[in-house]
Amino acid sequence: MMNVVFNDMTRKDLPNILYQLLQKLGGKASMMTIFREFWKVYGNQLSPADDMFYTWNYDIRWAATQLRQQKRMKGASTKENTHGAPVSPKGIWEII
């Protein structure tokens, strides 16, 4: 799989980046594994001069919400499973 390079990475890029990271990790992983992988692959593209350098962890969580709304990622808990939607085990993010 080819790594996508974002010279001017924005919050809008993160759902696709997260999806690609999850694919690379076999379709599911713990949040900490995802955060470590994101930093390893994309951390050098974040600049202390940009807000995203300080907010990327929050922004990745926002990207997960976007993927769930797009039905590209399983729900995070049974609380979200009000209509029989697929749900990941606690602490695991999983793409559909």
Predicted confidence (pLDDT) at residue 5 exceeds the cutoff of 90 = no
Amino acid at 87: V
What's the DSSP call for residue 3? Answer: P
> Residue 71: which region, alpha, beta or left (left: phi > 0; alpha: psi -120 to 50)?
left
CATH number at residue 53: 1.10.10
**Residue 1 forms part of a structural domain:** no
What sign for the dihedral angle of Cα 71, 74, 80, 86?
A: positive
The domain of 21 spans: 12-78+85-94
**Residue 7 forms part of a structural domain:** no
The count of structural domains within the chain is 1
Write the pLDDT tens digit of every residue in 31-49. Answer: 999 999 999 999 888 888 8
Of residues 52 and 84, which shows the higher confidence score?
A: 52
Mean pLDDT of the chain: 83
State residue 72's pLDDT score. 94
**Residue 53 forms part of a structural domain:** yes
**Residue 41 forms part of a structural domain:** yes
What's the DSSP call for residue 15? Answer: H
Q: Is the pTM of this model over 0.95?
A: no
Report whether 29 contacts 92 (CB < 8 A). yes
